[in-house]
Structure 1
């Protein structure tokens, strides 16, 4: 993405020392997890074996003030590898609004695609921000449907009128709008609940579960069999089969 507005400089390829770069994930990171450990580990290994990673996308906010817009995993990997040489970056001099849109644009091209929940929350953050983006701009930046963004804009207006503090996530915003948790949830709300609970479970046991699954999947299967009722275990297996091609050779 090149910023083409009048008076805005074109992106510049250059090298900067690691300690001159900063991260501001609250503004430019739109994922549930700021970094994925396995991905950082593989990038760190690549750096230590002499490979150079793709340039990070950086926003020049002021003189000597460089903020990472896209490349949080690469930054974490360079840091873990204790890299001391200047690293390649592409520097954009633009407004903060353009930098936020740039961050979203770069995330849609990454090898770690954003989940539906992450895209919904990114759109909600834009709707709640002071960037004053149009509905069309928000749809284009996040990939969220026109109808959902329109619903978000109506939701923000209602919450503002009721002087409710705007929630951080779209799911919490819908809950605030509904008013009571017991009311029937639509498909979007159900997906948000599933994703939030999956994140909490992954935070608790995901790392160890993945490590043991790579070493001996039978041990993982045995724990699941012990912990889950048979009908729930059947649901899990059916869900996995539906999410993959029919020719996948499952080890169970």
Structure 2
């Protein structure tokens, strides 16, 4: 008898061996975070495959209409298997609807411990809002479902819906990313002025981009060489350093930070 693990929506079956040639990839439907291949990740998986002989099971969903098995988690593992010309691979079947399978795939990929950045998660939430909406039935995913799967705040999803509605009313082309949607919404308004909430959302989007581009590197250097980071920022920012220091102080005041540096430190 097959054993299952209960998830928040749907069930995961026990690991089994299936033919790689019988697995279909549908990134536009299930890979809501990133669809491009990360070659470094594939190389690491190939090395692990050579050491261990196998990788953790991928997750597939069986389309009830066609019977096709679609990968919903494990695309990079599939690329590693293909590189090594494997025919049978370990997989677990997700038992649920297409909607549940999509949420499950995103909730796994959007976990903080994985490579997903804040910008990735915001864009994934935006896709759930903007791509899965019908004029006659409305949103396919609730605010709670969207926020939970993408690992973002419910208030952000609420704002996404408002932006999406206004763009539809203006018959705008719907952007593919949240940052682009904010730019189109707020910089094409009649008065050209941003509200405090709008400005905050724009700032959050810019912060997400910076996290994706330099966040991990800068955080690491701040722990290993804080003086060098401070000097670099002061030199790079120039006259803007002191105004940015004020914003940093305001942000830090809401965090539990122990300030043991000198009073005349630039940051």
TM over 0.5, yes or no? yes
Consecutive unaligned residues of structure 2, counting only runs of 5 or more, are 134-138, 215-231, 242-247, 253-267
8 A Cα contact 2:118 2:211, kept in partner: no
C-alpha separation in 2, matches of 1:133 and 1:78 = 33
8 A Cα contact 2:72 2:105, kept in partner: yes
8 A Cα contact 2:21 2:87, kept in partner: no
Give TM-score scaled by structure 2 length: 0.66
Is 128-137 or 174-183 further displaced after alignment? 174-183
Is 31-40 or 52-61 further displaced after alignment? 31-40
- Residues 9, 50 of structure 1: alpha-carbon distance in 2 compared, 3 angstrom cutoff: closer
Among residues 91, 97, 100, which one is paired with 2:99 in the alignment? Answer: 97
- Residues 230, 127 of structure 1: alpha-carbon distance in 2 compared, 3 angstrom cutoff: closer
Among residues 40, 59, 62, which one is paired with 1:60 in the alignment? Answer: 62
- Residues 110, 196 of structure 1: alpha-carbon distance in 2 compared, 3 angstrom cutoff: closer
Give TM-score scaled by structure 1 length: 0.69
- Residues 157, 135 of structure 1: alpha-carbon distance in 2 compared, 3 angstrom cutoff: same
> How do residues 37-52 of structure 1 correspond to structure 2 at under 5 angstroms?
37-52=39-54
How big is the alpha-carbon RMSD for the aligned residues of Structure 1 and Structure 2?
3.7
SS state of the match for residue 52, structure 1?
Answer: coil
* 1:2 matches 2:6: yes
Match of 1:36 in 2: 38
Match of 1:70 in 2: 73
C-alpha separation in 2, matches of 1:111 and 1:190 = 24
C-alpha separation in 1, matches of 2:12 and 2:56 = 19
Cα drift, residue 93 of structure 1? 3.3
- Residues 13, 49 of structure 1: alpha-carbon distance in 2 compared, 3 angstrom cutoff: closer
Among residues 122, 125, 128, which one is paired with 2:124 in the alignment? Answer: 122
Consecutive unaligned residues of structure 1, counting only runs of 5 or more, are 203-227, 243-252
Instruction: From the CA coordinates, give the structure whose radius of gyration is larger.
Output: 2
Q: For each residue in 1:69-116, what CA deviation from the matched residue of structure 2 results, as whole angstroms up to 9, or x when unmatched?
A: 111121111122x33231000112322111110101211448524211
